[in-house]
Structure 1
Amino acid sequence: MGAMLMSILVGLVVLILTYVVIRLFTFIRWYKKIKKVLSHFPGPKPHWLFGNALQIGCYHDFVCRNHEEYVEKQNAKAYTFWLFINRPILQLTHPDTIKVLMKSNAPKAKSGAGYLFVLPWLGDSLLVSDGPKWERNRRLLTPGFHFSVLNGYFKVYNDVADTLLEKFASSCKGGKYIEIFQLASLATLDTLLQCSLSYKGNVQLVGENHPYVKAVKRLVTLVLARALNIFLYNPILFRLSSTGREFYKLCDFVHQFSEDIIAKRRTELANNKDTEKKKQLDFLDILLTATDDNGNGLTDEEIRNEVDTFMFAGHDTTASALSWSMYSLGKHKDIQDKVYREVREVVGDKQYIDSDDISKMKYLSMFVKEVLRCHSPVPTVSRMLQEPCVVEGVEFPEGSLFGLSMFDVHHNSHIWPEPWEFKPERFEEDKHHEMDPYSFVPFSAGPRNCIGQAFAQHEEKVLIARIVNRFEISLDPDHKVEHFMEVVMRAKNGIMVNFKERS
């Protein structure tokens, strides 16, 4: 037994060393190729082996330091950095540079960036696929986000709001302040489950105890943990680790959850063709009935991947936007009053809000855009070149890795006057249209923009309007709110909010 254990340990050590040597050799070979190209751009001085990893501490602080030094002081449109023995990243920070990659069909960086770590969970879905598969699936999914389909979801938005508002009312009695992100996240996940799968599982009432909610939250945490541990980058070592074993077990659970609903719905469609003509199609109905030019539809695995991606990409990002909206309303009472007056003018004493109401709320739309600019729910995305590309007059070879920083672009003082000030009037009438369209890219832009952006904005506006119409929103004056970048923009220690019933 002792000899067997020793053999296993020796094998693991050899595997780790082999992995490190291969990674180091690959990195050195790539760095020699890219070093001269990167020399045209500024960036923090790296360690020869660890890159800038030892300088980070807090990733948000690292990004802010670089923003101040290179974007503000040097007016650089891009800067470079690298972590451990991964490919160096060119961080794009200006509309002139970010548009080069956003206009292209350059794929998400499956290797050398965090997308690789979600593949076992989300599969080769629209989020990470490329080439003919991405083009085909994008066409098949687009009808699911047509305005006629999205308008049918307003009842769900309002039903979810009903539950959320009651939770706010009961939790804030006696002037109590509550942390907003967790409740917002449960609400947005509830919305997605109902709109994508017609699943009503009392998600907001069961809360973190709901097994699917618990699994999704934990998967996000495990993905982040892996991204911060270079030894877990290797798929074999990751599978052998306790983190990896838990991750794959949870993947199996969420996959089975989606597959059971997909199988049941496919059977219903086969047995009852009238199901296809029901009053409100959900996302799953559309995926199950979509066919390409050759009459071929999506496989059950492809459908599952898209549903899981919809859950992953749609709930925390919208929860982030909703949380920062509550923060902005609480911090700026004058702006809250303007939003409230407009909502009252449009809906009066009506409880539910529909698409026509939303289209009339011009100031609310300006407010939401400024939240998305100022607090950038998705701070950055990455791309990897499949062919050479010229950025700022410098040609980058195939395989180059880029960070497309919405956070940097949205806070670039050379683009936005007083970028850290919250001013919805920036988006009044046609003011923003006079600017470069790539100066405001909360949902990315170009061919690989977020397919669900209209869905997300409708949901946000309904929830904000319903909340502000019922409650006066205030912040805990003793609680400090700080930005904290993860996959989405969060508050470091949460956002403490009180919701007081309006008289």
Structure 2
Amino acid sequence: MSLLSLPWLGLGQVAASPWLLLLLAGGSWLLARVLAWTYAFYDNYRRLQCFPQPPKRNWFWGHLGVIAPTEEGLKNLTQLSATYSQGFTIWMGPIIPFIVLCHPDTIRCITNASAATAPKDDLFTRFLKPWLGEGIILSNGDKWSRHRRMLTPAFHFNILKPYIKIFNESVNIMLDKWQHLASEGSSRLNMSEHISLMTLDSLQRCIFSFDSHCQERPSEYIATILELSALIEKRSLDILQHMDFVYYLTQDGRRFRRACRLVHNFTDAVIQERRRTLPTQGIDDFLKDKAKSKTLDFIDVLLLSKDEDGKALSDEDVRAEADTFMFAGHDTTASGLSWVLYNLARHPEYQERCRQEVKELLKDPPFISRRCTQDTVLPDGRVIPKGIICMINIIGVHHNPNVWPDPEVYDPFHFDPENSKKRSPLAFIPFSAGPRNCIGQVFAMAEMKTVLALLLLHFRFLPDHTEPRRKPELTMRAEGGLWLWVEPLNTGLQ
């Protein structure tokens, strides 16, 4: 027994010193954690060998910098998607792997998985949380499921249909600006800037029934929304600022906090005003008055929403969803419209055909990441290990030569019904797919179609002499803006 005594182990004083015993327990726990992590890392490393891997920069940096947020980075990404058409593994540094999927057959297992099996990963989206709270983009689990069910009626076509009038009004303000600028000889315009202001104008009216006149004069609220988006993009590119305690000590971090307060105060004021109105009028009277005077806005729908147990959203939840819609609805739509106009400017034959279709009708709307919570089997038998982050490479899918013939050629007839027959529904996923697809896609498409139709009726778009360089951020941008020449058309339409 003496061989098992504490003195034989060199721990004779432990009994008299609980701190040393605590230190021993803590060290043992830490060692166990390190060993468990090491085993899990090497197990995943072994299981990931079945996925091809592009050449690394070196052992330490891995593939960091290979897919940079630049034109060159996008070209590298499309080349990798063509070379490894089903998907590939990349390493962010020496220990963090991502599986990048770029084919409809492989992404189906992730997009069609339940929200519990493949929840959104928060590696970068967590930067949005101080602004957007637990809105539908950032929430997970039961909260996301409940909010998704409660918000779905808000995007029903019958609710969205009256918004067409708002889209028309906002576009007409922009058209008047363009007509005035063209008459003064300023026909070279930054589509990104003008269309972003127009979509922000539309959204403030649709969400809050508030007209900021932001297309005609500066608006503090709109300027703050744009500042928040820019600060988040800037932070995502600086790995040192990914740590909250570092970021909020910087000037940008302090600006971000001030901007969040301003946006939250605006939304809270609208919510409190509506809360005061609802109880005094009663819901039925409220809805009748709204129907007579104007469209039912998004705040109204949120305040009136109830779950299956009759429970309404809290003020914090309403604010989170309204701020989320404001953020997610303006930049994405503006970016999509800007690039559509750019491609139509470069292909005047398609632009004219689209314009003629509009006239005929008048005669009679980056990556997605998911973290697998269980082993996921792909169609070819390969397994994505539990805990691995999967990057659904939308750009790679849309430029995959094994899915699309001549993917780099702008050809609207790719989407002709005859050409789409044998193509997977996951070959084109601008709004993602599966249970966590974009809830606002009907709103976005309605706005984009309305805006595009009105723009083509009144202007011809011509390419600029400088070819834009793509810049993937929260949305696909162009470095220095997306510039086109506009030429007024004498349509006789008002």
Normalising by structure 1, report the TM-score.
Answer: 0.84
- Counting only pairs closer than 5 Å after superposition, residues 434-473 of structure 1 correspond to structure 2 as 434-473=422-461
* Aligned residue in 2 for 1:186: 197
Whether contact under 8 Å (2:225, 2:263) holds in the other structure is yes
**How many Å apart are 1:294 and its aligned residue?**
0.8
Aligned residue for 1:454, secondary structure, equals: helix
Q: Distance in 2 between matches of 1:473 and 1:291?
A: 46
Whether contact under 8 Å (2:70, 2:469) holds in the other structure is no
**How many Å apart are 1:283 and its aligned residue?**
1.1
- Counting only pairs closer than 5 Å after superposition, residues 234-249 of structure 1 correspond to structure 2 as 234-249=243-258
- Counting only pairs closer than 5 Å after superposition, residues 32-43 of structure 1 correspond to structure 2 as 32-43=42-53
**How many Å apart are 1:26 and its aligned residue?**
10
Q: 1:91 aligns with which of 86, 95, 100?
A: 100
- Counting only pairs closer than 5 Å after superposition, residues 252-267 of structure 1 correspond to structure 2 as 252-267=261-276
Q: Distance in 2 between matches of 1:413 and 1:465?
A: 31
Q: Distance in 2 between matches of 1:43 and 1:63?
A: 18
- Counting only pairs closer than 5 Å after superposition, residues 79-478 of structure 1 correspond to structure 2 as 79-84=88-93, 87-106=96-115, 107-111=118-122, 113-173=123-183, 174=185, 176-206=187-217, 209-273=218-282, 274-277=285-288, 278-279=290-291, 280-348=295-363, 379-391=366-378, 392-476=380-464, 478=465
Whether contact under 8 Å (1:27, 1:85) holds in the other structure is no
Aligned residue for 1:438, secondary structure, equals: coil
Over 3 Å counting, the alpha-carbon distance change for 1:58 and 1:137 in structure 2 is closer
Q: Between Structure 1 and Structure 2, how many residues are aligned?
A: 447
**How many Å apart are 1:386 and its aligned residue?**
2.1
Deviations 1:13-48 (A, max 9, x none): xxxxxxxxxxx9998676434212222222333333
Q: Distance in 2 between matches of 1:85 and 1:115?
A: 23
Q: 1:64 aligns with which of 67, 71, 75?
A: 75
Whether contact under 8 Å (1:108, 1:128) holds in the other structure is no
Runs of 4+ in 1 over 6 A off after TM superposition: 24-29
Structure 1, gaps ≥5 residues long: 1-23, 349-356, 358-367, 369-378
Over 3 Å counting, the alpha-carbon distance change for 1:28 and 1:184 in structure 2 is farther
Structure 2, gaps ≥5 residues long: 1-33
**How many Å apart are 1:385 and its aligned residue?**
1.6
**How many Å apart are 1:49 and its aligned residue?**
3.1
Over 3 Å counting, the alpha-carbon distance change for 1:429 and 1:66 in structure 2 is closer
Q: Distance in 1 between matches of 2:38 and 2:60?
A: 10
**How many Å apart are 1:419 and its aligned residue?**
0.8
Whether contact under 8 Å (2:151, 2:302) holds in the other structure is yes
Indicate whether 1:53 and 2:64 are aligned: yes
Over 3 Å counting, the alpha-carbon distance change for 1:269 and 1:479 in structure 2 is same
Q: Distance in 2 between matches of 1:182 and 1:29?
A: 51
Over 3 Å counting, the alpha-carbon distance change for 1:33 and 1:265 in structure 2 is farther
Q: Distance in 2 between matches of 1:237 and 1:40?
A: 38
Question: What do you get for the CA RMSD once the two structures are aligned?
Answer: 2.2
**How many Å apart are 1:102 and its aligned residue?**
0.6
Over 3 Å counting, the alpha-carbon distance change for 1:189 and 1:502 in structure 2 is same
Indicate whether 1:480 and 2:467 are aligned: yes
**How many Å apart are 1:132 and its aligned residue?**
1.4
Whether contact under 8 Å (2:81, 2:397) holds in the other structure is no
Aligned residue for 2:161, secondary structure, equals: helix
**Percent same amino acid at aligned positions?**
34
Over 3 Å counting, the alpha-carbon distance change for 1:336 and 1:66 in structure 2 is closer
- 2:245 maps to a residue whose letter is I
Over 3 Å counting, the alpha-carbon distance change for 1:56 and 1:340 in structure 2 is closer
**How many Å apart are 1:129 and its aligned residue?**
1.4
